[in-house]
Amino acid sequence: MFLAAYAWEVIANLTGRAMLIAEIIIAVTWVVFVVDYLVNLILAERRLHWFTRHLFDLLVVVLPMLRPLRLLRLVTLLSALQRRAGSAVRGSVLIYAVGASLLLVFVAGLAILDTERNAASTQISNLGDAIWWAFVTITTVGYGDIYPATTLGRVIAAGVMVAGIALLGVVTATLASWIVDRVAAQDELSHVATRREVTELTEQVTQLKQVLLEHAAEMATVTGNEKREKTF
3-state secondary structure string, the chain? CHHHHHHHHHHHCCCHHHHHHHHHHHHHHHHHHHHHHHHHHHHCCCHHHHHHHCHHHHHHHHCCCCHHHHHHHHHHHHHHHHHHHCCCCHHHHHHHHHHHHHHHHHHHHHHHHHHHCCCCCCCCCCHHHHHHHHHHHHCCCCCCCCCCCCHHHHHHHHHHHHHHHHHHHHHHHHHHHHHHHHHHHHHHHHHHHHHHHHHHHHHHHHHHHHHHHHHHHHHHHHHHHHHHHHHC
Residue 77 banded pLDDT, cuts 50, 70, 90: low
- pLDDT mean over 166-175: 72
- pLDDT mean over 188-204: 72
The pLDDT score that the predictor gives to residue 200 is 77
Residue 80 banded pLDDT, cuts 50, 70, 90: low
- pLDDT mean over 151-180: 77
* Angle ∠(217,220,226) on CA atoms, nearest 5: 145
The pLDDT tens digits of the residues spanning 23-38 come to: 888 888 888 878 888 8
| Residue 149, C-beta contacts closer than 8 angstroms, at least 6 positions apart | 116, 119, 120, 121, 122, 123
The pLDDT score that the predictor gives to residue 69 is 56
Evaluate if residue 191 carries a pLDDT over 70: no
Evaluate if residue 157 carries a pLDDT over 70: yes
Nearest of 81, 94, 54, 96 to residue 174 by alpha carbon: 94
How much is the mean pLDDT over the chain? 75
The pLDDT tens digits of the residues spanning 36-49 come to: 888 988 998 888 88
The pLDDT score that the predictor gives to residue 62 is 74
Amino acid at 193: A
Cα-trace Rg, the chain: 35
| Residue 108, C-beta contacts closer than 8 angstroms, at least 6 positions apart | 71, 134, 137, 138, 156, 159, 160
The residue among 10 and 219 whose pLDDT is bigger is 10
The pLDDT score that the predictor gives to residue 187 is 65
